[in-house]
Structures are given as C-alpha cells and as structure tokens.
Chain A
Amino acid sequence: MNPTGIAVALLQAVFVIACAPLLVGWTRLVRARLEGRVGAPIRQPWRDLRKWFVKERMVSEHTGWVFALAPLVLTGSAVLVAALVPSLSTSSALDQVGDLFAVVYLLLLGTVALSLAGLDAGTAFGGMGASREMTITAIAEPTVLVAIFALSVSAGSSNLGVIVADTLSRPSAAASPTNLLALAALAVVTVAETGRIPVDNPSTHLELTMIHEAMTLEFSGPDLAMIELAAHVRLVVFLTLLANLFVPWGIATTAQPLHLLVAAGAVLVKLTVLATIVATVEVFLAKVRLFRVPELLAASFVLAFLAVTASFFLA
C-alpha cells in the first residue's frame, strides 16, 4: 500500500462525491426538459444539501441510537465504496483490500442501516419502506452476484482492477455475449437498487407508494443531507460500475495527474450518457406494482445466469 495509491483512492472518493449531486441534477434537468418543463439547474441538488446541512434536526421521540448512527454508517459505507470503485484509475491502493463482492456487501450494509432507521421511527411508513426495500434488495442479490460471476470468469478474478485491465487488454471481450448479457442484468439491478422508475419513484409525494422516501420521512437537517448525498453517491457508483467494467476505455492505469485528468473527463462523458439514458427511460415508463418487481428481477437473473453459461459454453 503506497502513498500514491492512497492518494488515488481519496481522489476517487472526492471525485464521485463531488459529481454525484451534479449528475442527479442533470437527470432531473433532462427529465424536466423531456416533459416540457424548464427544470431546476443542475446544481440544485447541491443547493438542497447545503440548505439541509444548516437546518435544525427534528427527531422522532421514539428513536434511539440506531436512528442516530444509521445516516453515518450509510454515508460512511458510500464514501468507502466511492473510493473502492475504479472511477479514475486502476492503481488505487484499495484494489487488494476489497473486490466486487466487498462492494456489493458494503452497499448492502448501507441499505440495512437505513432500513433499521426506518423501523426505529415507530411509524407505519418507516416500516413499510424498510420492508419493501429489504424485499427488493434480497431478490436483486442473486442477479448481482451471478453477474459478477460472469465477469470474473473471463478475467479470472473478481478484483475490479483485474476485470478492467482484462477488458482493456482484450477489446473484443467487451462485446462478448457474456459481457452484454451481464451488462443487461446489472442495468436492471441498478434501476432496482437505486430506487428509480419503474421500481421506485424518487420524486413521489404519495406515502403509500414510497420505498426509499418512506424510510427517510423522519429525517431532517444534516441527517437528511447525509442520506440524500449517500443516495446520490450510490447511484453514481452503480453507473460508474456499468461504465468502467464494460467500457473501460479512458480510465487511467497509472497515477499520473495527466492520465487522471483524462480519465476524469472520460468517465464524466460516460456517466452523462448513462444518466441521460436513465432520465429518458423514466419519462416513458410508469412505476410498476410492487409485486410485479420480482418478475422484473427474475428476468434480470435469467440474463445473468445466461451470461455465466455463455462464458462456459461459448468460451
């Protein structure tokens, strides 16, 4: 573990955290424009966070230490994941610390923390959100891990740096059936895990249909800022994984400043494209019923499973 590697990891964390609210602002803007509205500027999420940051904390009188700790654990795990995922460079010091499985389980840790906080408030909505969130997360888990399986078969490792390096060295692998199927599977899971339409509506105001928002109802002030920031970061982490695991070109394999700058530009372009796709799809889709979501996730699981079998039978 060398100092440059640590610096790269820190840089990645800062980069993702700085970009995440902007990217969310961009999706909202694209969506507004497609719906014929003017929309808020893309720095609006940052403004919201700043506003919440200085507002008073109002806490449900039934809560305990879990409620106080949950936003810290959620955001802390999101920061660590932002440092782990190769957004800029594969030469991060954290590459041997945790692999794709560690990333998935760290994200699960954040989900569990927020679900517990939702239950701690003592309202029906918090419990409802927590129950639904855990249901969707549990059912999405097989797809995620089997998709990782598919990716690590061709690279021979589940380490993020190795998978990226493998695709860089064999450009044809990027368009292999295994990769395409795994990409499709992970794309569906991204939508489910980050609470986007058609699974959850991030801008809903109707408590009965909420999933993520129902858990955060009781949070206010800096706590709300933390949770929203973590949600933004988690969205960007998923999009970065989609971008850099499947189309890694542009990513730095060293820690030289110039390469990192190029990598930042490349990943920003990729993320903007992906965010635009997410926003566009949301305009044309409606939220599905909660009990139709397992069907969607089952379909994505079939794709992931086919990806693994393709890697075996077509190799």
Chain B
Amino acid sequence: MNTTEAAFIAMAVAASAAVAAAIVLPARSRVVWVGVFTALSATAGGVASLAVLVGGDSFVTVIPDVFPLGGVRLEFDALSALFTFGTALVAVPAAVYGIGYSGQGPSSRPAQAAWPVLVWSVMMVPAAGNAIGLIALWELMALSSTVLVLAEHHHNAEARRAGQWYVAMTHLSLLAIALALFILVHQTGGESFAAMRAGAANVGPVAASTVFLLALVGFGVKAGVVPLHVWLPRAHPEAPSHVSALMSGAMVKLGVYGLLRVGWDLLDGGPLWWGAVVLTVGLISAMFGILHALVASDLKRLLAYSTTENVGLIFVGVGAAGMFAASDNRPLAAVALAAALLHVLNHGAFKGLLFLGAGSVLTATGTRNLDHMGGLGRRMPVTAATFAIGGMALAALPPLNGFVSEWLLLQSLVHSLPSEAASVAVAMPVAVAVVALTGGLAAAAFVKAFGSAFLAMPRSAEAEAAHESPFTMRTGMIALAGVCIALALLPTLLANPLERAIAPATGIADGAPISTNGVYVHLAGIQAGLSPLMLTLGLLIGVVAVFAVVRRSRARSTVRDIPPWGCGRTLQTSRMEYTATSFAEPLQRVFDDVLHPEIDVVVDHHTESRHYVESIRYHSETRDGIENRLYEPLLAVARRWGDRARSVQNGSIHRYLTYSLVVTVVVLLVSQ
C-alpha cells in the first residue's frame, strides 16, 4: 500500500466520520466535529495529490460490483492530482471557517451532512477512471451541492429559485456528459478510461467531434461558461459562504478537468477548431463575466460573475493550447496549458478567500449589498486585510498570484506569432486584447468592491455596528491568504508538478513548459523571464526606501485629523459618499450596448409648484442578458407545451388505461 492509497482510505474514513457526526451529534458539537473531520478528509486529499504530483506516485484500483452494471475504477494520475490538490487547498481552510460560520447559520443535519460529502466528491471526481465511476461521483457532487444551495430555503425564497435553476442546469450537464461517455464507450469498445485511450484511434472524426461538443456542453455547465452560466450567479450567492468558496474555488474547475480529460487525454486532441471553439467560449465568458461583476452591487453575485470571468481565462489557456497543438507548436501549447492549470490553483485560492471574506461581512452586517456597507476596514481589520490580498490577486496585480498566471497566459498568447496559420494570427491579438480588458475591468471591480465595503464611512446602522468574525473564521481566511502569498512568491516550486500534470494530455505535452532555478521562471521556447520573488523584493525595497525617506520629514510625527474637504460645507455624511453603484456608473455607460441597464428616474414635484422637486428616486438594474433573451423564451415555450399537455391528463382512469393499451400496442408493433 503506497502513500496515495493510504491517503485515499483516510479521506473516505474521515468523510464518513464527518457524516456520522452530522447525523448523531447535537447541534452545538455537531458543527465543530463536522468541520474537524471534513478538514482532515481534505488534508488527506492534499497528501494523496502531493504524493502523485511531487513524489511521482500513481494509483489505480478497481472496486468491483458497486453498481448493478459494473464496478468503479479509480485512476489517479498527475492531472487528477492537480485538481484534487486545488480542491484541498480551498477545502481545508473552508472547513475550519465553516465551524464558526455554521455556528451562526446553517447548522441543520442535512446541510452539515452534505458538506463533507461535497468536499469528498469534489476531490474524488478527478480520480474516477471509468465512465460509470465518473457519472456516479459527478451526480453525488451535484446532489450534495444542491442540498447546500437549499440550506437556507426556509427563510429565503431566492434560495429556492436558485436551487431550481441549479438542479435543472446540473442535470443538463449530467445528460450531456453521459451521452458523450456513452458514444465513447460504444466507439472504443471499452468502459474504463484506459480502454478508451487505447481505442481512441478507432473513433471516426465525426463521432470524436460529437463527443467533444457534448463534453463541452456538459462540462461547460459545471464550469459556468457563457451561455451556460445562468445557475452560477444565482446559486453561489445563496449557498452558505464556505460552500460558495468550495463551489467557486474548486467545483467549477472540474468542468475544465472534464474537458481536458475527454478532449485532450481520452480523444488525444483534435482539429484546430476544437481549440478555437474553446478559446472563443473562454473569451466571451471572460468579457461577459467581468462586465456583470462590475455592475453587480451584491458582493457574492459580483464574486460569482468574476468566477465566470476567471474560468473564461482558463478556457482561453486551454483553447490556445489546443490551437497551438493542432498547428504543431507543442512547446507553446504546453506553456498555454501550464498557464491554465496554474490559474486553476490560483483562482481556487483567491476566490475561495474572497468568498470567505464575503461570508464574514455577511454575518457581521446581515447584508450582501455593497451600497449598504462601508467603513468595515476599521471594524473588521483581519477580514479587510485578507480580502485586500484576495482582491489584488483577482485583479492580477503584482506581487500576488493572479499576476503570475496571467503573465504566463499572456506570454503564451504573445509568442504565437509568427505562425503558419492565419486563424492563429487573427485570434491571438483579439485574445490578448480581451485578456487585457478583463484585467483592467477586474481591477476596477476590485476597487469598487473593496472600496465600498471596507473604506470610508458606514452607510447603514448594521455596518456601523459590525464586529470582527470569530477565531475559526479568521483562521480560515488567514490560511487562504497565506496560500495566495505562497503561490505568488514561489510558483517556481510548481514547475515539476505542472509538467507532470500536463503529461496525460499527450496531444499537448512536450517536455517541461517551465524551467526554473528556484528564483527565475523561464519558459520553453520563449525568451522571457520573470522572477516573482525578486519583483516582490524590489517592490518591498521601493516601499521601504520611500518610507525611510519620508520618516526623516519632521512633519511625519504630527498628524492632524480633520473633516474632509466639502467645498465649504461643514457637514459630511455617509450619504455624500460614492456608492458601489455610482462607482461603476461610468463603465456601465461605456458598455451600455452590452449590459442594457434598465434605469428608472421618478421625480415628484411639490403640489404647489412644479418648479420645486420634492423627491427623486433613481433605480437602476442590470439583468443578465443571456438569461433574458435565451432562457426566458425557452422556458416560455416549455411552459406552453406543458399547458397543452395538461388537457391529456383529465383524471379519468378509463382514459389512462386506454393510453397504456395504445402505448403497449405501438411498442409491440415497433419492436416486431
């Protein structure tokens, strides 16, 4: 029994213990033990994946006859391990955080039992090594997360709507994935992934492309890419915050994993247009996601849309890798894929951290609306500082981890020229432009979120009375902030694990994409260097040098607190501050044609004279355009057909017996 196998057993045992604790124990101690066992289970998952990524272990096992039609095969290679590792990075702090968070919120038995199941299944999905295993684990993940999305449905109607959307979309996902795997099994004649790989050469181009497109839809739903993202901005805000952290930081990445596994491992890559489609989907998701994040005033909705943006960026990396590989530029393809996989880890860490921060704010103020917050930086210093770290990573600002993966992605895109293929030459400048614009808009979204939640004066009594979160919640946030910083300073440690993780994608892998001497990052086939460590050191030296000079000023010691400049007015209230909505207004105006905001201005006049205004009400709402224009009509059609079908069902038992008779006769005739 090697380390990986032992860790897998520990994972399952700890997760079962957590479920048992959730069912048996009373409410107060339940939360603590569920948190502890879930954290242990996630730690075991981290150990298992490190053994594969760093130690070069591998793990294959078959558990026969779990299901009527066959057993579950587990196959844990480096690509799987990278995703499981990313999950563990988020899940351990989220589980610790969950102890304090659930103490004040969702501590019911079903919610507490579903949480360890979700953590375990998200870690296990990448380990699935056959079709039935993948489908079973995927469904377990979907069901447990649904329970958690609905955790607060008693007093929150919005959570029920979110749950409906989530269930519908996640089953669309399962349907598409099952179909894709069914075709694969049929064409390759094997049910395990190993057999599919061996038989991939027999799959015709049409069948392969069908499988790929079905996988793109199925896994795209889970990844939350446009136009399949509609569940995401509803479900993530409604779930408890540590669950949102895991969903956003880890679960959506399994969409990327599945696409890579099916498209570039089992099918071993395909024509250029596969990559081009993934790239296009990624670009549209990135733009759409960040624009909606920018105008959202619900903090968790903002973060959810930003997840769509970041998954879009990961898709850009995967798509570019596919395009480069198809046009025979494998070293560059490996760099693009390494960028995408590094961003999987980075996004997991910083988005997990931001959702934990949002949860901390939510418990302290009772609101998710940024326009009602403000001044929380003084009242919740730990939350503010860790949120700032996560937000800077989100905005891809150096010296944080988001910058490193964005830099890698830009390098791979920029060095695609000169290329043979004209499609690459046209696609890449567009891709760079979109990545750049999303980067700039993400910075604006971060300034908006952080500025209106944590800075200046509180805009409501609840924000005024806010207090810092309990110890376990702070621990979770500090731990994830530490992960972000570690990933930022030492991405060089990930050079070998990334090379191993890319290896299963044999159509793309080409030796080491990143070479490093521990300090500098160098890329295969690209003359470019970056040293995150030295850059951070340089920045620190710059800041310290400036500070040392300023300290010598004799003015430094005297600070006088004064009211801010108000153009001669003496009274300055929080109503005069810029709100999140007003901050985003110029950009909303610039991107008017994409966002289509609905703005109502109602002006009431005095009854005596129309020249005097009594009150002005301004209401602005930006609804998801894709939900409005694509899903609403579809739902309307479904509802109309549903209404028509109702006339068939009139409650008469005689009629129903006639239906059964007719159907039986038809089936008999057809099967003849």
Q: Which residues of A contact B (CB under 8 A)?
A: 1, 53-66, 72-73, 75-80, 83-84, 94-99, 101-102, 105-106, 108-109, 111-112, 115-116, 119-128, 130-132, 134-135, 137-142, 144-146, 148-149, 152-153, 156-159, 162, 207, 217-218, 221-222, 225-226, 290-291, 294, 301, 305, 308-309, 311-313, 315
Contact = CB atoms under 8 A, between A and B. Distances in A.
Given A130-B447, A131-B583, A221-B555, A116 B433 contact: no
B197 to A, nearest CB: 37
B233 to A, nearest CB: 21
Contacts of A221: 553, 555
A85 B429 CA distance: 24
B175 interface: no
Interface SS of chain B? helix
A60 B455 contact: no
B499 to A, nearest CB: 21
Contacts of B448: 134
B556 A222 contact: yes
Chain B: number of interface residues, binned into ranges? 35 or more
Contacts of B538: 80, 83-84, 94, 97-98
B67 interface: no
6 smallest A-B Cβ distances: which pairs? A127-B578, A138-B440, A76-B543, A141-B440, A119-B451, A122-B456
A1 B565 CA distance: 48
Contacts of B388: 66
B589 A123 contact: no
Interface stretch (B155-163, B393-401, B482-490, B658-666): B393-401
B377 A108 contact: no
Nearest to A207: B567
B528 interface: yes
7 contacts: A53-B553, A75-B542, A76-B539, A105-B396, A138-B440, A149-B414, A158-B528
A177 to B, nearest CB: 15
B526 interface: yes
Contact of B585 (A66, A119, A131): A131
A302 B668 CA distance: 66
B564 A301 contact: no
B397 A122 contact: no
Contact of B550 (A116, A135, A226): A226
Contacts of A105: 396-398, 403, 406-407, 439
A120 B407 contact: no
Interface stretch (B2-10, B101-109, B217-225, B569-577): B569-577
Given A97-B538, A105-B397, A123-B565, A294 B452 contact: no
B565 A217 contact: yes
A114 to B, nearest CB: 10
A56 B437 contact: no
Contact of B577 (A106, A123, A148, A305): A123
A159 B456 contact: no
Contact of B572 (A54, A122, A140, A291): A122
B553 A145 contact: no
B577 A124 contact: yes
A98 B531 contact: yes
Contact of B444 (A77, A135, A149, A291): A135
A127 B577 contact: yes
A162 B529 CA distance: 11
Nearest to B529: A96
B559 interface: yes
B444 A138 contact: yes
Nearest to B545: A79
Contacts of B447: 112, 115-116, 119, 130, 134
B446 interface: yes
B68 interface: no
